[in-house]
Amino acid sequence: MGSNKGLLIVVSGPSGAGKGTICKELLKNNSKINVSVSTTTRLPRVGEKDGINYFFINKNKFENMINNDEFLEYAKVYDNYYGTPKEYVIENMENGKDVLLEIDIVGALQVKERFKDAVFIFILPPSLEELKSRIVGRGTESVSDIEKRYGSAVSEIKQVIKYDYAVVNDDVPTAVEDIESIIKAEKCKVLRNYEEILSKF
C-alpha cells in the first residue's frame, strides 16, 4: 500500500553529525530511494566529482538559477551557496519515487513551508565533544571553517523542535535502521493512503 506520490525525505542537522555517512549507507540498502544532487558554489574537495557529489558552479550561475526560480530551496551555508534543483525532485515525486534531500537547517525549513507532507529527520551527534572531533577528524576543512561549523552547532540543534523525528548518530547502522523504520511508518500513515483504501473498500 502507498500513495501514488513519492515521499520527500529531508535529512538535516549540524555539520559533523554524520548526515552524509548515514545517507550514503541508507542509499546502499534502499535502491528505490532517489537522492537529489545539490548545486553549490563551494569548491570541490579532493575526490569529489561534479554531478555526483554536487553540481559545482560559480556564484554568477547560482544567482541566475535563483532568479530563474530553479531551486526548491537554497541557503548560504558557511559563505557558500547550496541549493536543491527543483526539477529532479518534482519529477521523481510525481512518478511515485521517494526522494532524499540531505540539506542544512535553513533549507529544510524552506522545504517545510512548501511541502507539508515531507518527512523531516534531524540527525544529532551523541555529544558536542564528539561533534567537534568528527569535524576535525574529517580533515577537509580549514581551522576557521571548523570553528564556524562547530560554533553554530548549538543554535542549530535548538531547531530540532521543528522536525518530525530526531535520530542520534552514535552508531551508523543503528541510525540507518531508525531512518528505515521512520520511512516504513510514514508510508503506512492513514492520510497518505486514505484514497487508496477508499477505492478498494
Using CB under 6 A as the binding rule, whether residue 18 contacts ligand 5GP is answered as no
Using CB under 6 A as the binding rule, whether residue 102 contacts ligand 5GP is answered as yes
Q: Which is nearer to ligand 5GP, 7 or 103 (CB)?
A: 103
Using CB under 6 A as the binding rule, whether residue 41 contacts ligand 5GP is answered as no
> How far from chain centre, in Å, is Cα 73?
11
Which amino acid would we find at residue 76? Answer: K
| Other Cβ atoms within 10 Å of 103 Cβ, number | 25
Minimum distance from residue 74 beta carbon to ligand 5GP (Å): 6
Minimum distance from residue 141 beta carbon to ligand 5GP (Å): 8
Q: Which is nearer to ligand 5GP, 2 or 166 (CB)?
A: 166
DSSP3 helix / strand / coil % (the chain, rounded to 5): 50, 20, 30
Instruction: Please check whether residue 28 is in contact with residue 139, taking contact to mean a CB–CB distance below 8 angstroms.
Output: no
Using CB under 6 A as the binding rule, whether residue 104 contacts ligand 5GP is answered as yes
Give the span between the Cα atoms of 57 and 64, in whole angstroms.
Answer: 11
Give the span between the Cα atoms of 114 and 95, in whole angstroms.
Answer: 19
Residue at shortest CB range from ligand 5GP: 107
* Residue from 83, 109, 122, 135 in contact with ligand 5GP (CB under 6 A): 83
